[in-house]
Every structure is written in C-alpha cells, then in structure tokens.
A and B are shown apart, each in its own frame.
Chain A
Amino acid sequence: QKEVEQNSGPLSVPEGAIASLNCTYSDRGSQSFFWYRQYSGKSPELIMFIYSNGDKEDGRFTAQLNKASQYVSLLIRDSQPSDSATYLCAGFTGTASKLTFGTGTRLQVTL
C-alpha cells in the first residue's frame, strides 16, 4: 500500500462545474498536505497546502483535511479548461523532510 493514494482518473467534469479530487494517506504522523498541479511535460506547481483539520480556501480552490479519516481533498469551483492537468497530493511528516507524493489524478475539464 502506498503511503499516499489517489485515483489516477481521468476525472472528467464540464466547464463551470466543481471538480473534487481526493487523496487518502496511511501515515498518521503526517502533519501537512500539499496540492500540486502538473501540466503535461511540465514540473509540479504548488497550488495550496493545509495542516489543520477543516477547510482552507484560496480563490476557486478549497483544500479539506480530515485527520481522523486520513483524508485530504481539493475542490476546484467553476472549473476551466485551463484547469485540465494532473493534480498531485503530497504529505509531509516532519520527522522526514521529504514530501511523499501520490500518483496524481488527471483532471479533464470539457467544454
């Protein structure tokens, strides 16, 4: 079992809809979680991070963390075709400084 799990997709949503991307993790010591967007052939770009239970909003993006359920999600409101990319979830434990990534979920926003 990978430490950070994501559905590889593709997740297809129509333009203007809400895209919901999910991630589960196995290490209860994980302190913080990061969402990166990666366009094909490009490097990961940080979108948001969250370290407290609950919701964190930034523009069209909302990250949600539930430590009891070991579950992280990213909601994208008013999805645009330019949001089509792979979204990577990463966990940070603090005892090791590295980020542990999931395999990513490919999002397709259709016109």
Chain B
Amino acid sequence: GAGVSQSPRYKVAKRGQDVALRCDPISGHVSLFWYQQALGQGPEFLTYFQNEAQLDKSGLPSDRFFAERPEGSVSTLKIQRTQQEDSAVYLCASRPTRTSGGKSSYEQYFGPGTRLTVT
C-alpha cells in the first residue's frame, strides 16, 4: 500500500518567510509524528498527534513552530519567520495501532522528508 507522503520535497525560503510542510500518513494510522533531522544527526522529535489531538509538542524549538491535524489525517507543520537554523530535513512518521499477544507495536514509518533550506 501507499506509504507516508510529504510535500514539498524541497523548499527554499528566504529568512523571515513563513513555510508550510504537509504530511499524508499511511491510511488508518492514528498516530502521527514530526521530527527534525540536521545533517549528520539522528531525527529529533518535534510533536505527536493521536487522531486530531496534539498530545505532545515538547520538541517544538520555539513558538514559531506550529503543527495541526484538524481532521485526524493530513498534518501541516508551519514555521513562521524562518531562520537559518531552521534549515534541516523535516520528517513525518506514522504509526499503526497493532496488538499481538497482548503487546502493542510502536514502530514508526517515515515519509521521504522535506528538505528546508533557509537563505
């Protein structure tokens, strides 16, 4: 089936511009995550949704970052007044809800990412 999709794949923004990054999770996955990955580093957690509820936004680096998932499917990560330090790959992941033998699975599946460059 279709995997997680993200758009745009590449975005160049001038410092101070606002950007919006879109994520379309795997159909039926109720949990959705946003991560930021800097060059040479592992992904860093930004925020988490279960359906339309944003349950954890502790990783958002500043109030310039805002995420929403109004209908519990597609999510948008918005960055206002972009700064050079925002340049990174933004990864979206979704997670199924699966239970086998009384244990739940927590694996996450990543989209291709959006590479944001702020000039």
Whether chain B is bound by chain A comes out as yes
* Residues of chain A whose beta carbon lies under 8 Å from any beta carbon of chain B: 4, 8, 32, 34, 36, 42-46, 49, 51, 88, 90, 92, 94, 96-104
**Which residues from chain B contact A100 at a C-beta distance below 8 Å?**
45
Q: Which residue of A lies closest to B48 (CB)?
A: A97
Q: Are A98 and B111 in contact (CB under 8 A)?
A: no
B95: chain A residues within 8 A (beta carbon):
97
Would you call B31 and A103 a contact (CB within 8 A)? no
Contact A34-B110, Cβ < 8 Å, known A88-B42, A101-B44, A104-B42: no
B-side residues, CB < 8 A to A, are: 31, 33, 40-45, 48, 50, 55-56, 58-59, 91, 95, 103, 105-113
B113 contact set on A, CB distance < 8 A: 43
Asked if A46 contacts B111 (CB within 8 A), the reply is no
Q: Give the docked Cα–Cα distance between A90 and B31 (Å).
A: 17
Question: Smallest CB–CB gap between A48 and chain B, Å?
Answer: 9
With A34-B107, A51-B103, A97-B48 given, is the CB distance from A103 to B56 under 8 Å? no
B48 and A44 form a contact (CB under 8 A): no
Query: Which of B45, B48, B56, B112 has the most chain A CB atoms closer than 10 A to its own CB?
Result: B45
Is there contact, CB below 8 Å, between B107 and A43?
no
Which one of A34, A46, A90, A98 lies within 8 Å of B56 (CB-CB)?
Answer: A98
* A100-B106 Cα distance, complex, nearest whole Å: 13
B43 contacts across to A, CB distance below 8 A:
44, 88, 99, 101
Q: Can you name the residue of chain A whose Cβ is closest to the Cβ of B89?
A: A43
- Are A98 and B59 in contact, CB atoms less than 8 angstroms apart? yes
Q: How many Å lie between the Cα of A99 and that of B103 in the bound state?
A: 17
